[in-house]
Amino acid sequence: MKIYACSDLHVSPEHFSRPARAFLEEAVQEADLTLLCGDIYEGSWFLLEESIKSPNGQDLGELIRKLPKAVVIKGNHDWILEQYVDFPVLENHPFEMDGKIYYATHGWREYDLPVGWLAPIYRYILPLLPVLAKWWTSRQSPRTLKLAALKSGGHDLRYWRRVREMSNRAIFQAIKEDRIPIWGHSHHKHIDTYEGWQAINCGAFSGTDVGGIVIQDGEPREWKFERRE
């Protein structure tokens, strides 16, 4: 069995990267299961509805519908995604394949230590208040640390320290539950192996990043983008 897993495409009116398109087009042909682990649409820097209805957003929707089996998980940039699309949207997805138990998530609600206190707002309050949800997710998303990193050239130690903390928490929680986590959010692709047990971060297709993980018969590898002129 072959799993294609990605996250953080951040598709918007201005962005849908060539590698992200290539990854999903390959998944249409090759995948038994495709995991889209949150922030697949951009709903913070643009209105989420605007991103979904843009030509890029429509192209992404068509690719998702072509996938033999797609699991779409919402992230902190597309938290109210189910209000605008006609395919199922989940918060997380535990499943078993090839003798292993996985836990697919975006990573924000469960594992992000710096802004974890906002989880009840995103999980319970916003879905009940569509107008507030649209305003909050498009104008007030927690991004102070990321902005500080961008302003300093992307090397803000406070931000990257939180990224590592977030990844560690995902790993420790999954060990406790005897599951292999597949997540994104930190934009840092990696496969950590501990005596046969794994933790998998899908990375991002944001800007020039090339994310994507392929898990074949229980063995994960980083997806590589082959440029075609």
State pLDDT tens for residues 80-123: 899 899 999 998 898 999 999 998 988 865 554 444 556 566 55
Residue 171 near residue 199 (C-beta atoms within 8 A)? yes
Q: Which CATH architecture has domain 2-222?
A: 4-Layer Sandwich (3.60)
For position 37, what pLDDT does the model report? 96
Per-domain boundaries in the chain: 2-222
Residues 60-88, mean pLDDT to the nearest whole number: 93
Q: Whole-model pTM above 0.85? A: no
Give residues with Cβ within 8 angstroms of 132, minimum separation 6: 125, 126
Q: Tokens 């209000």 appear where?
A: 83
- Among 10-14, 161-165, 205-209, 217-221, the range scoring the smallest mean pLDDT is 161-165
State pLDDT tens for residues 190-202: 898 877 678 899 9
Rounded to whole angstroms, the Cα distance separating 9 from 203 reads: 9
Amino acid 157 reads: L
For position 175, what pLDDT does the model report? 76
Q: Where does 156-218 show beta strands of DSSP type E?
A: 180-183, 190-194, 197-201, 213-216
Q: Is the pLDDT of residue 60 over 80?
A: yes
* Mean of the per-residue pLDDT values of the chain: 82
Largest distance between two CA atoms of the chain: 48
Rounded to whole angstroms, the Cα distance separating 17 from 52 reads: 15
The CA-to-CA distance between both ends of the chain, in Å, stands at 31
CA proximity to 225, closest of 22, 73, 3, 30: 22
State pLDDT tens for residues 25-57: 999 999 999 999 999 999 878 889 999 999 999
- Among 21-25, 169-173, 207-211, the range scoring the smallest mean pLDDT is 169-173
